[in-house]
Amino acid sequence: MNFFLRYFTSAFALFILGWLPLHAQSLPGGLRGNVQEMGSQMPLEYALVAVDVAQPGLTTPLSAYTNSDGYFQINGIPAGTYQVTVKLAGYGTIARSITVKSGRIGFERFLLEESTVVLDDVVIDVKRQEQQTKVATAVVQLSPKSITTFSIGGEPDLMRALQVLPGVITTGDQGGQLYIRGGAPIQNLVKLDGMILYNPFHSIGFFSVFDTDILQKADVYTAGFGAEYGGRNSSVMDIRTRSGNRQRIAGKVSGSTYMAKALLEVPVGPRGKDGLAPSSILVSAKNSYLNAIAPVVYPYVATEYGGLPFTFTDLYAKYTVESTGGNKANLFGFNFNDGVQFAGDKAINWRATGYGADFLVVPASSGTIIEGHLAQSAYFIESSELENRPRESQIDGFNGGLDFTYLLRKYDEFKYGLEFVGYHTQYQYTNTVGRTLDQEQNTTELGGYMDYKRQQGRWLIQPGLRLHNYGSLAIVRV
């Protein structure tokens, strides 16, 4: 009896051990990756990625569209070798053979080249696809091309593009002010690569601090922004810069009657099989010379107003490293300076500085995309307009967070994250009797959110929840 029991137990264990690998081999796999433009490595949105799967029970091809960052994921692919096709209007089609392993999610990068093709009749459904996959309530998505289109009659700039949007009012005060749907300027949240900016505009609102040549996209929410954003109640401007060219050294120098610009992109490291270096450096600089050239180009201004006393200098740098598996990290920093020089020694000067880092991790064999950022930024302004009564104020702080995105079905996704923010403000001025007053305040914020997007037929449902905690400690010194 004991011999029979031991024999039965051993046979059952061997059966289980032999059945598990066979069962694991039947598990479906998946394919994820990103689609980029060949020349600039800019992510391409709404590119169609289709897997030619000819399996029993599959009546429609497995496919997905890339998101705003150029990423896609296709789940439920049986193990095997298939042909993958990537299409996007205005770009050449790519077909590649890929192998899907059982229970694994592979990663592929596709680089599309721009192409010009003469067609008879063509229907482009990108706009329809955008409506089916994205809730776009009171949001305007600006790209470098659209900013150039909106900036008629002048240097392409995000500020000029914002001026033509409904519900947006701008003023020409020092530093520029932006009022969106009746909200005060302090109620606008401006983020550059996840870093909070406190004053994104230059003297008298002519230009923003953002160089159009380095922008990847700018999402402007004038109402109804989702749970991902918090801390403001008027508008959100989420601005992303692109990475430097990892294929070749590139540069650009330009000038106008009021400023000069320079851009340099350098790939760093040996080229891989796809012709791309593992990292790159991007440096952008802008400098105005209105005060120097105004007497020549605008003589009436010099005669009537004594010239144009406005100057500014912008410097932005970014280092990017990206692996073949889609993991990516960035280090970036900026220094923006403005000045207005009046008669005598009276002037207003302000500057904005900041630095930070962000990363994107695509774990192997997982449907999750992990993003994180940490940054520090500051803004300082001083005025000597009033004789013997100098004034200055500054704000500096840090912000960071983690975001997790689960790509579920064909277009469904679940996203949640945590954000923390810290502020330090200081205001100092001298009153009419020569007494100096100083006010200092510290504030912290902590927020968490969840956001779920689901497409059900012709319906797109996207509920979200955000919890935001505010804390402050004020110190007033006289």
Domains annotated on the chain, with CATH: 23-120 (2.60.40.1120), 135-477 (2.170.130.10)
If you search the block for the tokens 């137990």, which residue do you land on?
A: 9
For position 411, what pLDDT does the model report? 66
For position 413, what pLDDT does the model report? 82
Chain-centre distance of CA 426, in angstroms? 30
Length of the chain (residues): 478
For position 58, what pLDDT does the model report? 53
Which amino acid makes up residue 127?
K
For position 16, what pLDDT does the model report? 42
44 DSSP 8-state letter: -
Strand partners, 447: 419, 468
Q: Classify 275 in phi/psi space as left (phi over 0), alpha (psi -120 to 50) or beta.
A: left
For position 80, what pLDDT does the model report? 85
Q: Classify 6 in phi/psi space as left (phi over 0), alpha (psi -120 to 50) or beta.
A: alpha
Residue 205 sits at φ, ψ, to 5 deg, of 70, 20
**Rounded Cα–Cα distance for residues 399 and 374 (Å):** 6
If you search the block for the tokens 């020694």, which residue do you land on?
A: 345
Per residue, what are the HEC states of 242-292? CCCCCCCCEEEEEECCCEEEEEEEEEECCCCCCCCCCEEEEEEEEEECHHH
Which residue, among 116, 142, 290, 299, has the nearest Cα to 216 in the 3D structure? 142
The answer to whether 63 and 48 have CB atoms below 8 angstroms apart is yes
For position 356, what pLDDT does the model report? 95
- The per-residue DSSP string of 63-119 comes to EEE--TTSEEEEEEEPSEEEEEEEE-TTB--EEEEEEEPTT-EEEEEEEEPB-----
Dihedral, CA of residue 181, residue 186, residue 189 and residue 190, to nearest 10: 110
- Which of helix, strand or coil describes residue 221? strand
**Rounded Cα–Cα distance for residues 71 and 219 (Å):** 18
Q: Which helix (H) or strand (E) holds 10?
A: helix 2-25
For position 12, what pLDDT does the model report? 43
**Rounded Cα–Cα distance for residues 207 and 441 (Å):** 30
The answer to whether 35 and 46 have CB atoms below 8 angstroms apart is no
**Rounded Cα–Cα distance for residues 360 and 69 (Å):** 11
Q: Which helix (H) or strand (E) holds 299?
A: helix 299-305
Dihedral, CA of residue 179, residue 183, residue 184 and residue 187, to nearest 10: -110
**Rounded Cα–Cα distance for residues 356 and 279 (Å):** 17
For position 302, what pLDDT does the model report? 60
The answer to whether 409 and 456 have CB atoms below 8 angstroms apart is no
Burial group, residue 295, by CB count within 10 angstroms (0-12, 13-18, 19+): middle
Tens of pLDDT along the chain (478 residues) come to 444 445 434 444 444 444 444 444 456 788 888 898 887 788 888 888 988 876 555 555 688 888 878 888 888 888 888 889 999 888 888 899 888 888 788 888 898 888 765 555 555 555 555 555 566 667 788 888 888 877 665 678 887 787 777 777 777 554 467 788 777 778 888 999 999 998 888 866 667 888 888 998 888 888 778 888 888 888 888 999 999 999 899 999 988 877 889 999 999 999 888 888 999 999 999 998 877 777 777 676 665 556 677 888 999 999 999 988 788 999 999 999 988 877 667 888 889 999 999 999 988 767 788 999 999 999 998 888 777 778 889 999 999 999 999 877 666 789 999 999 999 999 888 877 778 888 888 889 999 999 998 877 778 888 899 999 887 644 444 4
CA dist list (Å): 297 to 12, 291, 293, 301:
92, 11, 6, 9
For position 372, what pLDDT does the model report? 94
- 154-170 per-residue burial string, b: 16 or more CB within 10 A, e: under 16: ebbbbbbbbeeeeebeb
Rounded to 5, what percent of the chain is helix, strand, coil? 15, 50, 35
The answer to whether 242 and 216 have CB atoms below 8 angstroms apart is yes
